[in-house]
Amino acid sequence: MATVLPLGAKPGRWAELLLLLFALGLSFLAYAQVALAATDRLPAQMAVQCGGFTVLVIAVHLILRWRAPYADPVILPVAVLLNGTGLAMIYRLALRYEELGAGDSQVAIASKQLIWTVLGLVAAAVTVIWLRDHRSLRRFPYISMLLGLIGLVAPLAPLIGLENFGSRIWIRVGPLSFQPAEVSKIALAIFFAGYLVTRRDAMALAGPKFLGLRLPRLRDMGPIMLAWVVSLGVLIFERDLGTSLLLFGLFVVMIYVATNRPSWIVIGLLLFAGGVVVAWRLFTHVQNRVEAWLHPFDQAVFEATGGSGQLVTGLFGMANGGLFGAGLGRGRPELTPLAYSDFIFTALGEELGLTGVVALLLIYLVLVERGFRTAIGIRDGFGKLLATGLAFTLAFQLFVVVGGVTRVIPLTGLVTPFLAYGGSALLANWIVVALLLRISAGARRPPPATSEIDLAPILQAEAAKRP
């Protein structure tokens, strides 16, 4: 009636190389377009920059061939394309800011982002080489937790902490500023995965039933309450709405995936609602964000500081882009404040149009899908939870930012992964990609062939025992 055939995974390294070359070509095309639009000629340093970027990306590809031959072939090209597109857009904005005589900090964004891209690729390569098996991360759940929490509270320390745009989330390391919370989220994902994989049975099975929903026992509620308190702490003391949301969302999703019990989602949403009420009562900037979301075109809201001015300019930009966009380098995205970081999506929407932006969203979808597919394919529970958590952080950041700038949800400061300006986020996302590549290499690798043991003596002994 039916035949079962085992199908092995192909390494897919040649497909990866082709896709990588495609992604590099697209990035360079975007770079050339923005340069041509601004100055009508290609920049002198373009050959060197593109050559260097290609060499670095191909080096990462070769490292995958060497250390993780069965890694997913789509993840790396997708990340390279998004990073390259973001770089082109940031360079285009930097050129424009220079023309307008903006401050040094805005003119330098392109070269800074380029340096962070190089650092990110190196970090990804080092992670793949150093981490032979993702399961070795499982040995240090509490150290990861400690590192994650230190990263979260470091900006509050008096000497190194730095306050910017009303949020206290930066630390100063020499000339560079860094957001340690970006790396914290990886450490905390490792901790959640390691913790939940040992506790999930108790969390999944025990508990009373109420209204058709199996509720957890009160003592199993401890960790989720702790995650909630830490998220609220980030919100209150650092005034960072985005990271707070991300941490709590990450924990709720991982606990749900670990236990397969919908009651955790319900509890999470109730706690979230509670947090929203607290934030609403305490902070005027949260009230302003909601007001700007509900009535952006109101004259008073539009003109107020912290009002909807930025949001509406971004919307106008996307409207100007229309279906096919103004063309790279030919729109006016610089009119939106922070077009290179929080609002890079509207800048791309203006210049690539709906067609281009939908393609970018699909590319993100592929990236996140590969993360979840890796989680399904990997055999150990820790790897499943970690891959789910990492893929979820990418998806959630994208949803919060794109939802914010398109007025689906109130605007919240989070980084569009790989596209937006922000060194720490770029570095952290490259490490996330490296971890996903490592886990996918474990998931797709065929089971090792059993060694040929000579069973003849054993078989003879068995036969002799039988009457």
Partner 1 sequence: MGELSVSLLRLGYLLALWLFVFAALATLRRDIYGTAIHRRDPARQPNPAGPRGRQRGQQRGQQRAPVGAPPDWAAASAASVAAASAASAASANPAIHGLPTAPVFAAKPGAPTRLVVQSGPLRGTTLPLSRSPVVIGRSSSANLILDDDFASGRHAQLVPRQGGWVLEDLGSTNGTFLGRERIAGPVEVTAGQSIRIGNTTLEVLK
8 near partner 1 (CB under 8 A): yes
201 near partner 1 (CB under 8 A): no
269 vs 362, which CB is nearer to partner 1? 362
Per CB under 8 A, contacts with partner 1 among 336-355 are 352-353, 355
2 vs 5, 6, 41, 434, CA distance in Å? 10, 13, 63, 39
- Count CA atoms closer than 13 A to 188's CA, side-chain side: 28
Q: Considering only 148-156, 319-327, 333-341, 389-397, which stretch makes contact with partner 1 by CB under 8 A?
A: 319-327
Count the Cβ atoms, other than its own, within 10 Å of residue 160.
15
450 near partner 1 (CB under 8 A): yes
Q: Considering only 124-132, 173-181, 218-226, 452-460, which stretch makes contact with partner 1 by CB under 8 A?
A: 452-460
Distance CA 376, CA 70 (A): 16
Q: Which amino acid is at 202?
A: A
Q: Considering only 30-38, 55-63, 263-271, 293-301, which stretch makes contact with partner 1 by CB under 8 A?
A: 30-38
46 near partner 1 (CB under 8 A): no
309 vs 55, 67, 216, 283, CA distance in Å? 42, 49, 45, 20
**Concatenated DSSP letters for 148-185?**
HHHHHHGGGSTTTEEEETTEEEEEEETTEEE-HHHHHH
Distance CA 34, CA 439 (A): 37
12 vs 161, which CB is nearer to partner 1? 12
Distance CA 236, CA 243 (A): 12
81 near partner 1 (CB under 8 A): yes
366 near partner 1 (CB under 8 A): yes
Q: Considering only 60-68, 144-152, 256-264, 323-331, which stretch makes contact with partner 1 by CB under 8 A?
A: 323-331
- Rg of the Cα atoms in the chain: 24
18 near partner 1 (CB under 8 A): yes
Q: Which residues of 278-302 are buried (b: 16+ CB within 10 A; e: fewer)?
A: ebeeebeebebbbbbbeebeeeebb
23 near partner 1 (CB under 8 A): yes
1 near partner 1 (CB under 8 A): yes
Helix, strand, or coil here: 328? coil
Residue 306 gets the label, from left (phi > 0), alpha (psi -120 to 50) or beta, of left
362 near partner 1 (CB under 8 A): yes
Which residue in the set 327, 399, 406, 407 belongs to the binding site for partner 1 (CB under 8 A)?
327
List of residues 6+ apart from 174 with CB closer than 8 A = none
Per CB under 8 A, contacts with partner 1 among 370-409 are 370, 379
Q: Which amino acid is at 173?
A: V
**Minimum distance from residue 75 beta carbon to partner 1 (Å):** 10
Which residue in the set 25, 161, 233, 306 belongs to the binding site for partner 1 (CB under 8 A)?
25
**Minimum distance from residue 42 beta carbon to partner 1 (Å):** 11
Residue 67: name the closest of 135, 128, 137 by CA: 128
Which two structure tokens, joined as six digits, stand for 216? 């957890």
Beta carbons of 421 and 89 less than 8 angstroms apart: no
Q: Considering only 118-126, 275-283, 291-299, 459-467, which stretch makes contact with partner 1 by CB under 8 A?
A: 459-467
159 vs 456, which CB is nearer to partner 1? 456
Binding interface with partner 1 (CB under 8 A): 1-10, 12, 15, 18-19, 22-23, 25-26, 29-30, 33, 36-37, 40, 72-74, 77-78, 81, 324-325, 327-328, 330, 352-353, 355-356, 359-360, 362-363, 366, 369-370, 379, 444, 449-450, 452, 455-456, 458-459, 462, 465
